[in-house]
Amino acid sequence: MSKIISQETFDDIVQENVVDFSMSPAEAKEETIKQFEAQGINLANIIKDLTVNAETGKPIINETMDKIKTHISQKGGDTQQLLELLTVLDIECQKSLAHRVLAGKNGAHDALITLLEQTLATETLNMTLLSRCLQAVNSLTHKQPDLFDAEALSIVLKLLALKDQLDIICLTLQWLQKACIMHERNRQNIISANALKLLKPLLVMDSQRLVSEVTAVFRFLVLDDDIRVEFGCAHEHARQIASEVLPQLVELLPAYEDVNVLADLLLTIGTLAVRQELCTLIDDAGGLKLIFDIMSVNLKEERLNREALKLLRALAGHDAVKGHIVQQGVAPIIKDLLETHQTNANIVSAALACITTLTLRVQEHSSAFFETGIAEVIVEALRTHPNHQIVQRNGAWAIRNMVSRSRNQCDTWLSFGVEDLLNAAMVEHPTVAQDIKAALRDLGCSVQLREEWTGKAEKKIAA
């Protein structure tokens, strides 16, 4: 079994080489590594690229934290020096997760929380100091959500209540986002603390930046990515957030032209539409027409239309809303999207998936799409992306759903050469062969179906 050492032992030897033997930091680290490896010590757990002070030989992170703690204990001192120390800490934490872990072990989180508390307690807020602290705590918390505790949440709620401080509030929202990722307990604590009451008023029409940050918090609060928790509350969180802000999010759609903000709004609405009544709520608020208008005006925008297509699929989970989507004219828009983005596999696969959902078991919907001439466009999309498995699978799904109750379409599909394309895709992508066979079967093509299981029953089944 390999011998290991602590980070402190490694740093002490580096310091000794710098101070006692007048080595440069790079030379000191190289010599230290050689010494320990010669002794058969495994250095896999050691951070070897720490920035070292050329005079003292100590890691910059350790020195910076010692100075910050001294400043806190003295409850005063040179504010400019403190700002410089916070900048150094921020830069060091951005280098790697290992750097952030070391900073956390040296008490960086507690020190930053104390600084934020002290700053908020003053009569005249030092916004520069608040901003610098928040930048540092954001870098520190990135991929370290376990650091976020009750004291941090208390500070967040105070910061969100500040008026007319856009930069501070946006940094606070980013901190909240990082605390939510891969941490179910933090998400539950944030919801339990009634943070929604402070987040909802931030959805204002005159700040694109604020809307993007707030909607990101909403999406992160409904994540289900913490493997340490058997059952999360993602669905319940989505329901609670939707009941508070969903109509307001729909109302914001016509207020913006920026495609990134619109994409964020569409993504958030789709993320929150987890129940049938919420799909109806979006429909009743005029959401469908707004979505169609946005897609039509921004036909060339990839991300925006991808989010719009995913949202329409989510809303189509409600049968009545699905009917309204088709009746209000989505078919020509999706056809135009497919033609515009014929070479973009992401848009094509999303559009084909949307067609699949909208035409499922409804002959009238299939006819509405077919009458636009979309069959030829779909076949051309399959021809353009023969090596893309998802496109081929989604295309087979869309074709199957369109012809399964409308066999009168089959001759038209076949006239475009779809049979040869599907047979070639079945050879190229054997893992989706059953999906492709289903499309070929409903098109009336010759297809060899394999019986997946055969056997004899232990007892004879009565006729």
Question: Is the CB of residue 50 less than 8 Å from the CB of residue 99?
Answer: yes
Predicted confidence (pLDDT) at residue 367 exceeds the cutoff of 60: yes
Q: Which one has a higher pLDDT value, 4 or 114?
A: 114
The length of the chain, given as a count of residues: 463
pLDDT of residue 83: 96
Cα angle 457, 460, 463; round to 5 = 120
pLDDT at residue 299 is higher than 90: yes
Mind listing the pLDDT tens digit for each residue in 335-352?
Answer: 999 999 999 999 999 999
Q: How many helices (H) and strands (E) are present in the chain, helices listed first?
A: 26, 2
d(CA 332, CA 281): 25
Quick one: tokens of 237? 């969180």
Phi, psi of 28 (to 5 degrees): -65, -45
Q: For residue 237, what are the contacts with CB-CB under 8 A and spacing of at least 6?
A: 187, 188, 191, 221, 222
Taking CA atoms, 93 is separated from 33, 172, 443, in Å, by: 23, 17, 59
Between CA 213 and CA 79 the distance in angstroms is 29
The 3-state DSSP class for residue 406 equals coil
Which uninterrupted H or E stretch holds 432? none
The fourth-level CATH superfamily of domain 333-446 is Leucine-rich Repeat Variant (1.25.10.10)
pLDDT interval class at 318 (50, 70, 90): very high
**Residue written as tokens 């109302």?**
251
Six token digits for residue 160: 């969100």
- In single-letter form, the type of residue at position 307 comes to E
Q: What is the pLDDT of residues 45-58, one digit of tens each?
A: 888 889 998 889 89
Question: Residue 109's pLDDT is what?
Answer: 98
Whether residue 450 is predicted with pLDDT greater than 80 in this model: the reply is no
Q: Is 10 helix (H, G, I), strand (E, B) or coil?
A: helix
Each residue of 115-148: pLDDT tens digit? 999 999 998 999 999 999 999 999 999 999 999 9
169 within 8 A of 161, measured Cβ to Cβ: no
Where residue 22 falls (left for φ over 0; alpha for ψ -120 to 50; beta otherwise) is left
Query: What local confidence, expressed as pLDDT, does residue 311 receive?
Result: 97
CATH class of the domain at 60-181: mainly alpha
Give the model's confidence band at 397: pLDDT under 50 very low, under 70 low, under 90 confident, else very high.
very high
**Average pLDDT of every residue of the chain:** 93
Is 12's pLDDT higher than 60?
yes
Distance separating alpha carbons of residues 317 and 326, to the nearest angstrom: 13
